[in-house]
Amino acid sequence: MRKILLRVLLFCAPLGLLAQEKDKTADSAWFVTNYKKEDVYIQMRDGVRLFTTIYAPRGSTGSHHDNGSTKAHHRHPILLTRTPYSCNPYGEEYSKIWTTPKMAYARNGYIFVIQDVRGQFMSEGDYMDVRPFNPNKKGNDIDEASDSYDAIDWLVKNVKNNNGRVGVVGVSYPGFYATMAALSGHPALRAVSPQAPVTEWFIGDDFHHNGAFMLMDAFGFYSGFGKPRHGLIKRKTGGYQFPVKDNYKFYLDGGSLSNFAKMMGDSIDFWKDIYAHPNYDQFWKVRNTRNWVQHIPANLPTLVVGGLFDAEDCYGAWNLYQAIEKKADNNNKLVMGPWSHGGWAGRSTGEFLGNVRFGAKNSEYYQNNIERPFFDRYLLGKKDAKYVNEANVFFTGANKWRMLPQWPPADKTDRSLYLHGNGSLSWSKPYIDDEVKYVKYTSDPAKPVPYAEGVHMGRTAEYMDDDQRFAGRRPDVVVFKSEVLTKDMTLAGPVIADLFASISTTDADFIVKLIDVFPDNFSYTEKDGKGDGKDYPMGGYEMLVRGEVMRGRYRNSFEKPEAFEPFKITEVRYKLPDVAHVFKKGHRIMIQIQSTWFPLVDRNPQQFVDIYHCSNVDFIPCDIKIYSSHDHPSRIILPVVR
């Protein structure tokens, strides 16, 4: 019987793959037959022309919905993406839209437009990273909002058979450009979705977290992306040629950041900007898109989308949504699902990340029930499109979506979970006569704690929910663990680390990790969904729920860093990005604290020196004490839902 079953499985698996390939072939044939591609240059107000690719229905493709015009028949909405990553392929070849969730939009007759932003690839002009918004533009003054306005204006006036309604969507850096489009104020712009949006690059997104430099991502990205363009180009040359396939070894051998500046060379402008602006000065502040969202028109709906395990822009999604809620008066929605960067946009099914499973194809659910109904309502005028709730958030642990009227939920209560000197966690503050008043470890930048287990070159997405047992076994990582939970505990909102510490030097980093410890006898079942096929021991798994770094010198101000006074007890309090997680009955809560997270975060020399220009000899060990006494009660403040 087992042999027969095996033969059936071997026979069925190829048939399934063949069926998928057949569907893709049919979709590609349908798309090319029903859509025409056109490359155009759109002139901006200052005369610069931006290269733009348009995919438009050839005939009467799509649904017919009333948009208030007597000529609505056969008219189609425009969905625009502006990108610094190229709108290739150029020429007659088609982008493979049929392999993406956008194919469902094509069946409804959407017009797809993708544009190279100013100064990139085939667009004219000069490029600027996260070009600041200018609220006081005059005449031919430009920014990304004005370029968005001019592009939209040309499209609605020149693309045949459009219905006068435009939506803008973008993931990651294009999410920044989507936010800029929302600030344009064009009357034809009816819906915008910034997804995994870059909001600012010093406190939370991509290249800095709380002032700490995210070395691996920044060097890997800018060594290729930041290369200057010489004339109009259709492709860029590759990035840095790494001599080894071991990121820990490469970045450790690289030494201080001054050495990485030499490796990068003198041609990458933004790399030099990073080194020239080590603190949160005006250079960074004007590039924080959250400072300008009050300019979003009241009649413009926004859908902010992000991933709970987005290693690049988790901060951006949570905080852009909150900023729009506070400063704008529009119809603003939030979606946070169990994805890594861009997973909802076709990069993953949303069934699992690494070893952790989420029970269903959550990307498909999102596309069918949230994103497409959002655009259909405002661009197609479909009155029967599903209404998108205020906050659509997936709770890991329980593996369920919750549709909430606000975020964080109204019934969220901040509760203090105290660290005790014996390695325990408790809701009770340490007693006055506790004998163990601190835990101690030595942070040695010559032997930093790796951010993930194993040998690899590129930064993994899976580190965001990886097993942390490897870290807890090191002497430079201190561990605190709760008793076994007797009932489920739901967290919904930001986590706050409030530490009392003393250090033997003048600076140090603090990394706090919130961890879900699975029962020793835990294993997944069929109802938990499919994983990536690895047979990983999940009993005792220590799932990273949220981790974040704080560069100690910025504990009181990102603008004005301060040295520590050696051996003086000092409070270090900072916010970790929001969580939406259920610690199940039978699990434990764990907190790990360390001072290196390498090479995810650059090494702090642990002296109050200019980290971007110091030398290898400036890196020294630091003895760190985390206090857990009645007078200095270190704690983690958790957003507990009643």
Beta-bridge partner residues of 548: 512
pLDDT in tens, 148-169: 999 999 999 999 999 999 999 9
What are the pLDDT digits (tens) for 377-398? 999 999 888 889 999 999 999 9
Same-domain status, 29 and 113: yes
Give per-residue burial for 597-613: e unless 16+ CB within 10 Å, then b: bbbbbbbbbbbbbebbe
CA 243 – CA 233 distance, rounded (Å) = 28
Looking up tokens 């890997």 gives: 220
Last residue of a domain, one of 386, 404, 422: 404
- C-alpha distance from residue 173 to each of 87, 119, 312, 478 (Å): 14, 15, 10, 36
| 228 inside domain | no
Distance CA 86, CA 89 (A): 8
- Compute and round to an integer the Cα radius of gyration of the chain: 26
Could you identify the residue written with the tokens 């822009």? 313
Pairing of strands 509-517, 542-551: antiparallel
The answer on 165 and 188 residing in a single domain is yes
* Angle, CA of 331, 337 and 343, to the nearest 5°: 110
Percentage of residues in the chain having pLDDT higher than 70 = 94
Closest by Cα among 215, 209, 291, 298 to 259: 215
Give how far Cα 478 sits from Cα of 147, 513, 577, 590, 626, Å. Answer: 50, 11, 21, 10, 9
Do 541 and 393 have their domain in common? no
The CA distance from 423 to 430, in Å, is 12
Q: What is the mean pLDDT of residues 320-324?
A: 98
Residue 225, in any domain of the structure = no
Cα distances (Å, whole numbers) of residue 360 to 31, 194, 444, 522, 527: 29, 24, 43, 19, 9
Residue 62 has pLDDT above 50, yes or no: no
CA distance 424 to 464: 24
Note the pLDDT tens digit of each residue in 182-192: 999 999 999 99
**Residue 59: which pLDDT band, with cuts at 50, 70 and 90?**
confident
| Cβ pair 175, 199 in contact under 8 A | no
- If asked whether residues 377 and 472 sit together in one domain, one would say no
Q: Taking the model in full, what pTM does it have?
A: 0.94
User: Could you write out the DSSP letters of every residue in 267-282?
Assistant: --HHHHHHHH--SS-H
Does residue 622 share a domain with residue 603? yes
Domain with 581 in it: what CATH number? 2.60.120.260
Beta strands in 239-309 (DSSP E): 302-307
Same domain, 368 and 428: no
Handedness of CA 102, 103, 106, 108 (dihedral sign): negative
- Give me the DSSP letters along 505-518: SS--EEEEEEEEE-
- For residue 434, what pLDDT band results from cuts at 50, 70 and 90? low
Q: Is the model's pLDDT at 282 over the cut of 70?
A: yes
Residue of higher predicted confidence among 427 and 59: 427
Rounded Cα gap, residues 393 and 374, in angstroms: 16
Residues 337 and 478 in one domain: no
Q: Please check whether residue 206 lies inside any domain of the structure.
A: no
Q: Note whether 492 and 391 are same-domain residues.
A: no
- For residue 21, the model assigns a pLDDT of 67
Rank 54-63, 534-543, 584-593 by mean pLDDT and report only the highest: 584-593
Residues 369 and 502 in one domain: no
Q: Does residue 392 share a domain with residue 421?
A: no
Separation of alpha carbons 238 and 89, rounded Å: 17
Q: Are residues 361 and 453 in the same domain?
A: no
CA–CA dist 370, 376 (Å, integer) = 10
Domain count, the chain: 2
Final residue belonging to a domain, choices 346, 370, 404: 404
The answer, yes or no, to whether the previous bond of 633 is cis (omega within 30 of 0) is no
Which amino acid, 193?
A: S
**Does pLDDT of 82 surpass 60?**
yes
- Structural domain including 18 reads 2-134+141-200+287-404
In whole angstroms, what is the distance from residue 183 CA to residue 293 CA?
Answer: 7
Q: Identify whether the C-beta of residue 615 lies closer than 8 Å to the C-beta of residue 603.
A: no
Per DSSP bridges, beta strands 489-503 and 570-583 are antiparallel
Report which residue type is found at 488: D
Residue 295 is given by DSSP the state G
What pLDDT, on the 0 to 100 scale, is given for residue 385?
A: 80
Q: Do 374 and 444 have their domain in common?
A: no
List CB contacts of 578: < 8 A, sequence separation 6 or more: 318, 336, 407, 408, 492, 493, 494, 495, 639
Task: Give residue-wise pLDDT tens across range 123-154.
Answer: 999 999 999 999 999 999 999 999 999 999 99
Residue 23, SS3 per DSSP: helix
CA 222 to CA 22: how far, in whole Å? Answer: 39
Say if residues 459 and 220 touch (Cβ distance below 8 Å).
yes
Cβ 189 vs Cβ 300: under 8 Å: yes
